[in-house]
Amino acid sequence: MELISQHNHTNFTGHGQGSVAEVVESARKKGMSNIAITEHYPLSQAVDPTNYISMPWDRLDEYCRDVKEQQQRYNDIEILLGCELDYLGDCEDRNITPADFEQFDVVLGSVHFEDGWAFDRSAEAGHWDEVGPDFIWNRYFELWCEAALSPLPYTTMSHPDLPKKFNRYPQCDLLPYYRAAAEAAREGGRMIEVNTSGLTYACKELYPAPAMLREFFKAGVPCAIGTDAHEPCHVDRYLAEGYRHMYEAGYREVTVIVPGGDRRTVTLE
């Protein structure tokens, strides 16, 4: 089974470690066939004043250049230039258009902010107690579906049930949210990912939950895989568990973006 991760970070942000070259070298040493470097696309200074969450605007060209240099250097591994683009909804304050992302092989869509609040950051977790899990989960899926249907050029929607990170769940039934997300992804022409990083958080569960992944499968939404590594040594973390998760949900192949943006599939074994 090929080792593939289409979601990986570097030290271009304040919360990642390792250069682009170190991430690629780690993947090569581990025998991986495909790796996407998907650093967080820049946010405004108002949203991310210290560039802890995203890379600085003035390093975007350097980032792209570093990944392209690695692509040219190696022919024994598929290396993708990508980014993770936060959907901010009505709080969007960047002047971005789909044309800004034409150079990327893959653009990951994610929702980390609810009306300006970074709900998945431990430093801001007190807001959970102020508004309650039901409100947070409901607002999250409103924004997630908006993102999946938006004009932004998302290839793949990442960690679709991210609010479970702190292992705090609403009292309501989540299945209607899962079905709405699956329909939005299908209608928007997006892929989704199995993100193995969930096993490292309080929820101790892959993203998305088994019931949610089954809804994506039933809706015919292609599925990718990524470790969401923030250190070079984690590029292959829990991939076997991720493949098993996909298979148990009904998938028999993983969809893989290749350099240039085309797709291929790998049979799940």
Who contacts 185 (Cβ-Cβ below 8 Å, separation ≥6)?
148, 157, 191, 192, 216, 219, 221
The pLDDT value given to residue 222: 98
Residue 69, token pair as written in the block: 């240099």
pTM of the model: 0.97
pLDDT at 102: 97
The angle, 0 to 180 degrees and rounded to 10, between the axes of the packed helices 210-218 and 239-249 is: 60
159: Cβ–Cβ under 8 A, 6 or more apart, which residues?
A: 110, 193, 195, 197, 198, 207, 208, 228
- The owner of tokens 């802890």 is 52
In this predicted model, what pLDDT tens digit does every residue of 100-152 receive, in sequence order? Answer: 999 999 999 999 999 999 999 887 778 898 899 999 999 999 999 999 999 99
Strands 106-110 and 156-157: parallel
d(CA 195, CA 258): 18
Mean pLDDT of 195-203: 98
- What region does 99 belong to: left with phi over 0, alpha with psi -120 to 50, or beta? alpha
Tokens of 267: 């049979």
The pair of structure tokens assigned to 169 is: 């769940």
| pLDDT (tens digit per residue) in 138-195 | 999 999 999 999 999 999 999 999 999 999 999 999 999 999 999 999 999 999 999 9
pLDDT in tens, 41-58: 999 999 999 999 999 999
Angle subtended by helix axes 175-188 and 210-218, to nearest 10: 40
The domains of the chain, with CATH numbers, are 4-267 (3.20.20.140)
Other CB atoms within 10 A of residue 114 CB: 22
pLDDT band at 75 (very low <50, low <70, confident <90, very high): very high
Q: What is the mean pLDDT of the chain?
A: 97
